[in-house]
Amino acid sequence: MPDFWPASAYPQLAHDAHGGLLPTPGWWRTWLDRPELAPVDDSCRSERALHERLRQQPTLAVNEATLAQLADADARANYRVFLKFRDAVLAAGTLQAWYTRWFRAAPAWPCPPLFIDLVAQSIARHLMDGVDDAHQVRAAELLFRAQRITVQNGRVLSADRDAADLLQDTGGLGSLGRLLVQGGAPLAPVQMQVLSDDNAAAYWASGDRHHFVLDLTHEVTHDLSHGLVLRMARTRSGLKALAQVLVRWVQHLLGVEVTVTPLPQVDDPAWRWHLGLDAEATALLNALYQGEAVEPEQMKRLISLFRLEFIHPQDMRADVAGKPVYLGLAMAADGTLKLKPQNLLLNLPLAHTV
């Protein structure tokens, strides 16, 4: 299998006996080489010296007096946050342990969302290692990259937000394209490809470009006339692929076995438990559960529902054992989707905290 998602630096991570991901000096160097920390042309001598020392010894202890020598205030702030993050990960032992502890303990210091997404990417890369289904791997990108959702002729299409915005701004020509746009030159529109079995091989070779669109349409309808409508579930639905990813995520991080099935609607008078996979879906499901009125525009933003079931009911809280958990996925008013996979770690009705 190709090394997809090179930015995850997955080959630089070590593994413990239980599948935990252990940061190595090489993995930390990829962080130091990020634009938030790498020196720029006007970086002072102290900043360059600190960066080089950390590249040689990524776990080096750095005190406040050393940081105070950096001339640029933003550089000092970036290093403070990185060092807190690095020390917290080292104290936790594995990336998985840090990720779960971060959300449960809610530390006072502000960890940048980018850092959290990068850790989620490394964990997702681990979960997808050896998976040869490009649809599943593309669906796993939703765990750590924001999406831009469009609805075209009844199809729900999910494109990587940053990649889609960049293509729109530059016509796929990078900095040159941006200059041409600013100069008023017309650019031919660049189309992102919808992932299919026919172009799946190109997905593996796409690296970190994230140019493939995932079709989240779960069901297609055919009007047969005379009032007859045929509804058929799509075999290659991106929602099915996402459901498989969520199963892997829960089992890996919580150690419980579940099934996840996309649903067109919830028809359950004994509805007991639910959680949103994003902020929009959380608000929507809470309102529906409490019997509150929901605006039609808000309902239109619902992408899908899912039914999560525990394979072993004893893994659930006794008062809801055997009951399904309903999940929701929805886009924001601006058409973006930012999945919050941590919700599955925090809000499932577990019998015991993992």
How far apart are alpha carbons 182 and 144 in whole angstroms? 31
Cβ-count burial of 143 within 10 angstroms (0-12 exposed, 13-18 middle, 19+ buried)?
Answer: buried
**pLDDT of 108 higher than 90:** no
Condensed to tens digits (0 to 9), the pLDDT of residues 55-93 reads 999 999 999 999 999 999 999 999 999 999 999 999 999
Displacement of CA 25 from its chain's centroid (Å) = 25
> Average pLDDT, stretch 321-343?
97
Cα maximum dimension of the chain = 80
CA 223/CA 230 separation, integer angstroms? 6
Quote the CA–CA distance of 162 and 176 in Å, as a whole number: 18
Which tokens hold the place of 148? 């831009």
Q: Which two tokens stand for residue 303?
A: 């992408």
Sheet containing 155-160: which strands, arranged edge to edge? 193-194, 212-215, 155-160, 147-152, 336-337
Most confident stretch, 42-56, 173-187, 226-240: 42-56
Q: How large is the average pLDDT for residues 15-33?
A: 97
pLDDT at residue 170 in the model: 56
| The predicted structure's pLDDT at residue 152 | 87
For 53, the enclosing helix (H) or strand (E) is helix 45-56
At residue 258, the 3 state secondary structure works out as: strand
Q: Is 131 exposed, middle or buried (0-12, 13-18, 19+ CB in 10 A)?
A: middle
- CA distance to 124, 234, 239, 342, per residue, from 136 (Å): 11, 15, 9, 19
Query: If DSSP codes are grouped into helix, strand and coil, which group holds residue 330?
Result: strand
Instruction: Give the strand pairing for 273-276 and 325-330.
Output: parallel
197 with 236: CB under 8 angstroms?
yes
**For residues 244-268, b (16+ Cβ closer than 10 Å) or e, as one string?**
bbbbbbbeebbebebebebbeebee
Angle, alpha carbons 17-20-21 (nearest 5°): 120
Asked whether 250 and 124 are in contact (CB, 8 A), the reply is no
SS3 339: coil
How many residues would you count in the chain?
354
Share of the chain above pLDDT 90, in %: 79
Three-class SS of residue 130? coil
Residue 218, pLDDT score: 78
Q: Burial letters for 20-57: b for 16+ Cβ neighbours within 10 Å, e otherwise?
A: bbebeeebbebbbeeebbebeeebeebbeebbeebbee
Confidence of residue 354 (pLDDT cuts 50, 70, 90): low
Determine the residue type at 234. Answer: R
230: pLDDT strictly greater than 50: no
Is a pLDDT exceeding 80 seen at residue 182?
A: no
What SS3 string covers 185-213? CCCCCCCCEECCCCCHHHHHCCCCCCCEE
Domain ranges of the chain: 6-128, 146-233, 238-346
